[in-house]
């Protein structure tokens, strides 16, 4: 039997997307991969507690303890490499990764964005700002996109998308919640499984 692909999840906050991944792994939705490491750039992130409760190894890398971005990313790379990580999931990770970092893990870093890319994405579009922009524009359908990460914010190849209807009277908060529940928490685990399965298959073909 093929060994499961090792997944690292990078987090900064509450970790609701991380929890969706943990739940999907427990439910057997993610079966080709395994969450082996959670790294946070915030030592107070509740996501670390979620990982610890699930017996997943955690680590913290703080920018304040690094001389520059290169050292910050090098510390993360050392953790990824020493733990044999093959897929990196950005789950509310509030730090833009450099081209040096992303090119090192081509088609191995995935991110979920709370809109249907190419709408309401790129630099400056994160969190509630995405939903505020969507509502201001008057769109009738929004949703979420899981994509590979490259040097352009939200610019990598799309893996999966799911549409969510915008309802009359929606606020940025209500739209954010519905997109999380109906789209993000569904397609992020499915995308993880797809990428892990593809990596497993290519390793099998090279045996």
Q: What is the CATH number of the domain that holds 122?
A: 3.40.50.170
Total tally of structural domains belonging to the chain: 1
Catalytic residue, from 50, 75, 113, 131: name it.
Answer: 113
Average pLDDT over residues 182-204: 94
147 is catalytic: no
Answer whether 0.85 is exceeded by the pTM.
yes
Q: For 71-122, how does the pLDDT look when each residue is reduced to its tens digit (9 = 90+)?
A: 999 999 999 999 999 999 999 898 889 999 999 999 999 999 999 999 999 8
By residue range, what is the domain housing residue 141? 5-205
Please, what sign has the CA dihedral across residues 164, 168, 172, 177?
negative
In the chain, helix, strand, coil percent, each to 5?
A: 40, 20, 35
Q: For 122-137, how does the pLDDT look when each residue is reduced to its tens digit (9 = 90+)?
A: 888 888 999 999 999 9
For the beta carbon of residue 143, count every other beta carbon within 10 angstroms.
24
């Amino acid at each position: 039997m093929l060994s499961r692909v090792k997944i690292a999840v990078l987090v900064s906050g509450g970790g609701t997307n991380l929890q969706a991944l943990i739940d999907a792994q427990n439910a057997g939705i993610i079966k080709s991969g395994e969450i082996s490491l959670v790294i946070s750039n915030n030592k107070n992130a509740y996501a670390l507690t979620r990982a610890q409760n699930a017996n997943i190894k955690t680590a913290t890398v703080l920018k304040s303890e690094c001389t520059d971005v290169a050292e910050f990313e090098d510390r993360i790379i050392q953790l990824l490499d020493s733990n044999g990580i093959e897929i990196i999931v950005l789950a509310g990770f509030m730090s833009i990764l450099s081209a040096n970092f992303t090119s090192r893990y081509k088609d191995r870093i995935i991110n979920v964005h709370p809109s249907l890319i190419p709408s309401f994405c790129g630099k400056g579009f994160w969190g509630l700002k995405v939903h505020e922009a969507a509502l201001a524009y008057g769109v009738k359908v929004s949703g979420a996109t899981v994509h590979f990460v490259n040097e352009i914010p939200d610019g990598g190849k799309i893996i999966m998308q799911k549409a969510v209807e915008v309802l009359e009277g929606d606020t940025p908060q209500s739209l954010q919640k519905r997109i999380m529940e109906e789209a993000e928490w569904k397609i992020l685990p499915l995308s993880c499984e797809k990428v892990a399965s593809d990596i497993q298959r290519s390793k099998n073909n090279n045996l």
